[in-house]
A and B are shown apart, each in its own frame.
Chain A
């Protein structure tokens, strides 16, 4: 089955370190997204990309950057990690051709910043 794959699944890092979370998909979708999930706050949009040359900030982009290396790959970077970036991060894709197209999520990356 077509998939959205995130690596790593878990990561512990120290304050001030640079870290990259990677996402690849085999669904052939043009649109890709990065969300973070915190207890009691739901999913919040960090960045999104509608095609390879398109990058847009979401609700909470400060402290993050992204790169859309190809249609299938969308990576999220934390240039200098801080403890309040500890969260569960999800990559997602969607198909713009269907109005009712839902988001398809990867399995998540649990990031802990100490």
Chain B
């Protein structure tokens, strides 16, 4: 079966660093995406990993280990506007083609 796990909620302090973990078990693998979603709004794309290692994009970094079925999203220098849900999504095989399969999301609360 297809399964993506991430923590339901996390809390962190403004200016700090937070790491949001994602583990997955999917039929096939063709990339992992992280999205940010503010309450009541559309998800927006943050990062993409298909090879093992770290991808850095400003304050946000994402890591992938395919052998462990594991990824994390690292947010540095947290700002209040980073309070949002963070969705891990894996492009796995569904029927005869690859589709994005989403985790339930991690709600991050940034406190002053």
Contact = CB atoms under 8 A, between A and B. Distances in A.
Interface in B74-112: 87, 89, 94-95, 99-100, 102-105
Most buried by A among B4, B43, B89: B43
Contacts of A105: 42-44
Interface residues of A, number: 21
Interface in A74-105: 90, 99-100, 102-105
B50 interface: yes
B42 to A, nearest CB: 4
B87 to A, nearest CB: 7
Interface in A34-63: 40-45, 48, 56, 58-59
A54 to B, nearest CB: 11
A100 B48 contact: yes
Most chain B beta carbons < 10 A, residue from A40, A99, A102 = A102
10 contacts: A41-B104, A42-B87, A43-B102, A44-B102, A45-B94, A45-B99, A45-B100, A58-B99, A90-B43, A100-B48
Given A43-B102, A105-B43, 13 more contacts: A42-B87, A42-B102, A42-B105, A43-B43, A48-B99, A59-B94, A99-B31, A102-B33, A102-B35, A103-B100, A105-B44, A108-B42, A110-B40
